[in-house]
Amino acid sequence: MSPKAPDAVVMEIVEAGRFLSARGWVPATSGNFSRRIDAGTIAITVSGADKGELRHDQVTTISLHAPLPAGVSAETPVHVVLYQRNPDVGAVLHTHSVAATVVSLAHHGKASLPLAGYELVKGMRGYQSHEEILYLPLFENTQDMNGLARDIGDRMTAAPGCCGFLLAGHGLYAWGATMREARRHIEALEFLLACELERGRYRP
């Protein structure tokens, strides 16, 4: 049996679930969220939970250096590798919004999605001006989560300033040093992707 996560950590995850669910970004039981507890342990949502109505017993703890227990999300290896490769990652959020799904699929096969000309790029850590282009990494979707995690880990290690990526036809991941920063990053990226979706529809 996994040790119980600290109440404050669980509440951060529960509140993130309510926040993201209210915006329609984690429909059905999609998405998964995690929070670092210490250097070797994280708290993460279990598989099949409604993220807008998370209970405390639907958040479990896992070691970053041991085999994964039963009942965790199939995408847990992606969370694990992000924490393993970057000690500054304190929280990871994964959403399945319409914008992230459609825009990522529209750019299927590309290495990244350039987000240019948007004021809200300044919502991302390290960006100071709308003149900067945010290149959001894009990965092919796959059911081989261990292989995907290795690819993501390798690419994110080579781009240490990056705070998010897309899975084609699947959704968005974003992270931060704290849950507050992770929530800011996921909200900023979701807004930018929604803008990209609208630009594809708009014809002046």
Bridge partners for 42 per DSSP: 36, 62
Residue whose entry in the numeric block shows the structure tokens 């993460």: 44
Give the three-state DSSP class for 37: strand
What distance in Å separates the CA atoms of residue 61 and residue 55, rounded to the nearest whole number? Answer: 14
What are 179-202's pLDDT values in tens digits? 999 999 999 999 999 999 998 887
What distance in Å separates the CA atoms of residue 98 and residue 1, rounded to the nearest whole number? Answer: 36
* Mean of the per-residue pLDDT values of the chain: 92
Task: Lay out the sheet containing 41-45: strands in order across.
Answer: 59-63, 41-45, 32-38, 91-95, 171-176, 164-167, 134-139, 112-115
70 contacts: CB under 8 Å, gap ≥ 6: none
Regions of the chain short of the pLDDT cut 70: 1-2, 158, 160, 203-204
The pTM score is 0.94
pLDDT at position 158: 66
The domains located in the chain, with CATH, are 7-201 (3.40.225.10)
pLDDT at position 1: 47
pLDDT at position 98: 97
Strand pairing category for 164-167 and 134-139: parallel
CB 96 within 8 A of CB 171: yes
